[in-house]
Amino acid sequence: MLVGPRNGPAGQAFATALATPSAGHAPFVVIAQPGVPTKPLTLYVNKAQIASDFHGNATWGASQAGIAKAVAEALENGTLPPEAENDWVVVSANWVNPQTDDLDAVFENNYRACRSAIVAAMEGLPHRDAVFAAARDVSNPFYTPKKN
């Protein structure tokens, strides 16, 4: 998640991503409803190539809707400052599992993840001490190093 002024690095990333689609990855502007882009202007970048019609609906429908809701709410509730409405952009890179079978879960997961990412971006989270502590016992869902 990148959030920031259009005339800064976030704006440059927005323009670059929009202008340089790659095979299976076509960034698009997030809408709250047809003809109503969310504010601040938000670019959706899919991390997974669309694998089926259902996966496409999950990405372009449910996931996009979750992102739109989270971004609009962040502006409305003051998580994003008032100037973000027209002078900032958001770039959201999103993973939707190609094997998904639950559009409502995709919506809810993307909404919660985007909401949390915006708060983290605006509050500078995680704080450096939390990063240093985590790095001392580094792991992720795909790998945990052996203890020496």
**Full domain range(s) for residue 56:** 2-136
In a domain, 20, yes or no: yes
- The distance between the two most distant Cα atoms of the chain, rounded to a whole number of Å, is 57
Please give the tally of structural domains in the chain. 1
In a domain, 121, yes or no: yes
In a domain, 9, yes or no: yes
In a domain, 73, yes or no: yes
What is the 3 state secondary structure string of 74-88?
Answer: HHHCCCCCCCHHHHE
Q: What are phi and psi of 21, to 5 degrees?
A: -65, 155
In a domain, 148, yes or no: no
| Percent of the chain scoring above 90 in pLDDT | 95
Q: What is the pLDDT of residues 91-148, one digit of tens each?
A: 999 999 999 999 999 999 999 999 999 999 999 999 999 999 999 999 999 999 998 7
**Residue type (1 letter), 53:** D
In a domain, 115, yes or no: yes
In a domain, 87, yes or no: yes
Domain CATH code at residue 130: 3.30.230.60
The stretch 1-10 carries a mean pLDDT of: 96
pTM of the model: 0.92
In a domain, 147, yes or no: no
DSSP 51: -
